[in-house]
Structure formats: C-alpha cells, structure tokens
Amino acid sequence: KVVAREEAKYLLDESQSAPSDFGTSKWNVSGLPCAIDVHVRGAPVVLHRYALKSANDCPGRDPARWTLWGVESSGQAHKLHSVDQRGVWPGRWQWREWKVSVARAFLHFRISIDANNGENCTQLGQLKLFGESSKGALGDHVCIK
C-alpha cells in the first residue's frame, strides 16, 4: 500500500527519503500564490541559510519564484531572500541551499511562492532552516502551522 503524506508539516520530516512501497512525505498544494509558515520554539533565531529539497515527481510543480520573509509578532514582514529562476532543481529529491544575509532574529518565517514551473499545484520534498553556521538545521526547534 502506498501512502502519500502531502501536508506542510512533513517538510520538516528528517526521516523522509526517496519514494518506496511505504510512500513519500512532501508538501503539495493547489493554486498560486501559496505560503509555508514556520514558527520557532523558544528564543528568536537569526537565519544564516536555508535549504529546499525537490519532491519525488513532476518538475513542473517545483517552485520557481519565492521570497523568504522574517515576520514580526505584529505581522510586519521583512524580506530575507528571494529567488526567481525556473529549473532550480536538476532532478528529483535534490537539495538546494541559499544564504541569508539579513542578521535579524525572528520567531516566525514565511516562504511565499508566487510561481512554479507551469503546473496547477506546487510541491516541495523537504525544508531545512539553519541558524548559527556552527550548528546543524533547527529541526526540533521549529514547527509548521
């Protein structure tokens, strides 16, 4: 039996791997624009970099234009990074990483996706956020709501 888990919360699932008889974990949503909201547990974090993994199928669903925002508790968003490029991922289950140069701490981050590679839905395989460069991904310190 194949099980598809396509909710945003699975973007942080580090146990996820390539498709198998047990299915895949990924995020898939219809329509554009769309967004992923990530909340930090504990103290605010300064992001140094972030990574996105392409999903298991359909390159047309890959994000092509997005912005990473740091969001204040008041709701005011601050642009941390943006990408506008079709064909970002060379294949399926591929990681790409970007540096964040804005040194400001936030408890809430949002990735707003405005375009993909032409399909009617958008998908990602996984998401990682990195704070201090000497430490690994934030993992258990963040959640998607």
Count of residues in the chain: 145
pLDDT at 29 over 70: yes
Q: What angle do CA 72, 77, 78 make, to 5 degrees?
A: 105
CA pair distance 119, 99, nearest whole angstrom: 27
pLDDT at 127 over 70: yes
- Mean pLDDT to the nearest integer, 26-52: 91
Percentage of residues in the chain having pLDDT higher than 70: 78
pLDDT of residue 131: 87
pLDDT at 94 over 70: yes
Helices (H), 23-123: none
pLDDT at 121 over 90: yes
pLDDT per residue as tens digits for the range 60-87:
999 999 999 999 999 999 999 999 999 9
25 confidence band (pLDDT: 50, 70, 90): confident
pLDDT of residue 2: 39
Q: What is the pTM of this model?
A: 0.85
Report DSSP state, residue 66.
Answer: E
52, 96 contact by CB (below 8 A): yes
- Categorise residue 31: left if φ over 0, alpha if ψ from -120 to 50, beta otherwise: left
Residue 109 vs residue 136, higher pLDDT: 109
